[in-house]
Amino acid sequence: MLKFDGVHTHYGNIEALKGIDIKINQGEIVTLIGANGAGKTTTLMTLMGIPQASKGTVTFEGEDITHKATDKIVSNGIAVSPEGRRIFPRMTVYENLQMGAITTKPEYFDADLKKVLGLFPRLEERIDQRGGTLSGGEQQMLAIGRALMARPRLLLMDEPSLGLAPLVVRQIFEIIKEINEQGMTVFLVEQNAFHALKLAHRGYVLVNGEVTMSGTGEELLASSEVRAAYLEGGH
């Protein structure tokens, strides 16, 4: 469904991605784990075209999207719940969800809204509240809900567990699983390697802008290098 082929990304003179290859199949949850600064977010953002890859290609459903405008990539069927959630703070929950649906046909809106609120009943209680007044967990739900409103076929998630209480993290991961079981392909970027690998079908390990390891979730969880680098110390 999605393919990175030898993708390089630069910020000015700094090479953040050094030729990575990643493949995501329809219906999978694929996770990308790695330390701070390894290039996980850059990988996601390169996929969305901010910034565009300087070398290599990104292919989505057979179409080269490497140099497509971001808003066109969204209408192609990729939505993102970004790092730090980035909901619109001075818009209500309802307006945030409306923003998510900006690329879809208006006639889908009501049904989609119902689906998202069904998934996150908490958002329904807060529907007229401004995004900035929500708690971290609620903001994360809103960020995922907003992404789902775009009717994506591929959902990108960047650190959905960041800064959330363990109980909320578990909820969020359960919802990711549920969305996936309903047929959504998910590309999950996480520092919380343990949870991510348990959830994912396959995973990639990113170190300094290069993919150093890949395999199924269980394989990576079992691998001693992954354990030593990302799982030791309290998980």
Partner 1 sequence: MEYFLQQLINGLSLGAIYGLIAIGYTMVYGIIGMINFAHGEVYMIGAFVSMITFLVLTMLGGIWLPAALLIALIMAMVFTCIWGWTVERLAYRPLRGSFRLAPLISAIGMSIFLQNLVQVLQGARVKPMQPLISGGFELMEHDGFTVTLSYLQIFIIILTIVLMTVFTLIINKTSLGRAQRATEQDRTMAALIGVNVDRTISTTFVMGAALAAVAGLMVTLYYGVIDFYIGFLAGMKAFTAAVLGGIGSLPGAMLGGLLIGLIEAFWSGYFTIEYKDVAVFSILVLVLVFRPTGLLGKPEIEKV
Residue 126 contacts partner 1 per CB under 8 A? no
Q: Interface with partner 1 includes 79 (CB under 8 A)?
A: yes
Q: Which of 40, 68, 126, 146 binds partner 1 (CB under 8 A)?
A: 146
Q: Does 75 bind partner 1 (CB under 8 A)?
A: yes
Give me the 33-62 binding string for partner 1, x by CB under 8 A, dash otherwise.
---------------x-x------------
Cβ neighbours around 222 below 10 Å, total: 12
Q: Closest CB to partner 1 among 55 and 130?
A: 130
Tokens of 143: 């960020």
Chain positions 86 to 115 lying near partner 1, rule: CB under 8 A, are: 86, 88-91, 95, 98-100, 102-103
**Which position among 67, 132, 170, 178 is part of the footprint of partner 1 (CB under 8 A)?**
132
Nearest to 130 by CA among 100, 76, 87: 87
Among 84, 108, 174, 235, binds partner 1 (CB under 8 A): 84
Enumerate residues 6+ apart whose C-beta is below 8 A from 168: 136, 137, 140
Asked if 172 and 15 count as a contact pair (C-beta separation under 8 A), the reply is no
DSSP 41-108: HHHHHHHHTSSPPSEEEEEETTEE-TT--HHHHHHHTEEEE-TT----TTSBHHHHHHHHTTTS-GGG
Tokens of 55: 């070398």
- Which is nearer to partner 1, 79 or 196 (by Cβ)? 79
Distance CA 93, CA 89 (A): 9
For partner 1, which residue of 11, 67, 69, 170 counts as binding (CB under 8 A)?
69
User: In the complex, which residues of this chain contact partner 1 (CB under 8 A)?
Assistant: 48, 50, 69-71, 74-75, 79-80, 82, 84, 86, 88-91, 95, 98-100, 102-103, 132-136, 139, 146-147, 150
